[in-house]
């Protein structure tokens, strides 16, 4: 069966070849690595990338960059390594515990960027001048859990995750049970410690109505939060609503 080719356009740039033999060349100085650690709270972050330039800046000779060994297990943000001379990017997902990747560059300079990084996120990596066997360790599925029941809609704020904790919310289930004693309305919101709204909603009921509903359910999410999570409620009358919440998250 013939292969069908869609309508095509010519590549709109010169096709320039560059030397790429360094990845497989033994380094003249022998196998070496440079160990690095980026604390995204003090270096880089969502508005800046980190520039690594060890041309004449390394304590010993380091003639080529051939591979990276990355530990991103202490970061809830994807980290991107950018090599401008070869137009190459390498993305290591958040919470990846250990990955070795071959890279293609002829320079001794590159950039590291994590667009969703927050304070407490840390990326550690080794820069290698040789290519070891590739290794990827599966990411742990372990999560932290927070639960609260019987949150009255008249309670202005209920802390669900301590303010000392920042991380990534990966699943949430919020449920409301109510036998309305009055006619009125109310609102609810799941917020982090910086008052960023993750989920919110409103209800309107008449006296005598009985309600059992799921206010919010998402088992496949990835939302960063800082300084804890809280349930914020308000109501225009005493409604007797009781909210239950189950949250699954990772730190940092």
- pLDDT tens for the chain, 252 residues: list them: 678 888 888 878 777 776 665 656 788 888 999 999 999 988 877 778 999 988 766 667 888 899 999 999 999 999 999 999 888 899 999 999 889 998 888 888 999 999 889 888 999 999 999 988 877 777 777 889 999 999 998 888 999 999 999 999 999 999 999 888 888 888 999 999 999 999 999 988 888 888 899 999 999 899 999 999 999 999 888 888 899 999 999 998
- 144-250 falls under which CATH superfamily? Satellite virus coat domain (2.60.120.220)
Beta partners for residue 79, in sequence order: 92
Q: Where are the domains of the chain?
A: 21-128, 144-250
CATH assignment, 21-128 = 2.60.120
* Identical fold, 21-128 and 144-250: yes
Task: Tell the burial category of 9 from Cβ atoms under 10 Å away from its Cβ (0-12, 13-18, 19+).
Answer: exposed
Task: Tell the burial category of 118 from Cβ atoms under 10 Å away from its Cβ (0-12, 13-18, 19+).
Answer: buried
The three-point CA angle 135-103-139 to 5° equals 35
């Amino acid at each position: 069966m013939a292969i069908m080719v869609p309508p095509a356009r010519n590549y709109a740039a010169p096709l320039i070849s560059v030397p790429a033999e360094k990845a497989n060349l033994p380094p003249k100085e022998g196998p070496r690595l440079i160990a690095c650690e980026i604390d995204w709270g003090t270096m880089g972050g969502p508005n800046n990338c980190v520039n690594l330039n060890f041309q004449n800046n390394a304590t010993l000779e380091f003639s080529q960059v051939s591979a990276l060994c990355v530990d991103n297990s202490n970061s809830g943000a994807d980290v991107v390594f950018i090599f401008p001379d070869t137009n190459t990017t390498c993305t290591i997902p958040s919470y990846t515990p250990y990955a070795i990747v071959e890279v293609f560059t002829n320079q001794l300079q590159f950039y590291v960027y994590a667009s969703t990084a927050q304070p407490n996120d840390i990326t550690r990596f080794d820069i290698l001048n040789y290519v070891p066997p590739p290794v990827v360790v599966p990411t742990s599925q372990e999560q932290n859990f927070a639960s609260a029941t019987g949150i009255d809609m008249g309670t202005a704020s209920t802390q669900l995750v301590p303010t000392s904790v920042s991380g990534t919310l990966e699943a949430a289930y919020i449920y409301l049970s109510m036998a309305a004693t009055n006619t009125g309305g109310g609102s609810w919101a799941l917020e982090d410690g910086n008052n960023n709204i993750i989920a919110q909603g409103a209800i309107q009921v008449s006296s005598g109505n009985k309600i059992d509903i799921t206010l919010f359910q998402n088992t496949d999410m990835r939302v960063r939060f800082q300084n804890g999570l809280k349930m914020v409620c308000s109501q225009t009358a005493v409604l007797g609503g009781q909210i239950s919440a189950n949250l699954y998250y990772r730190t940092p």
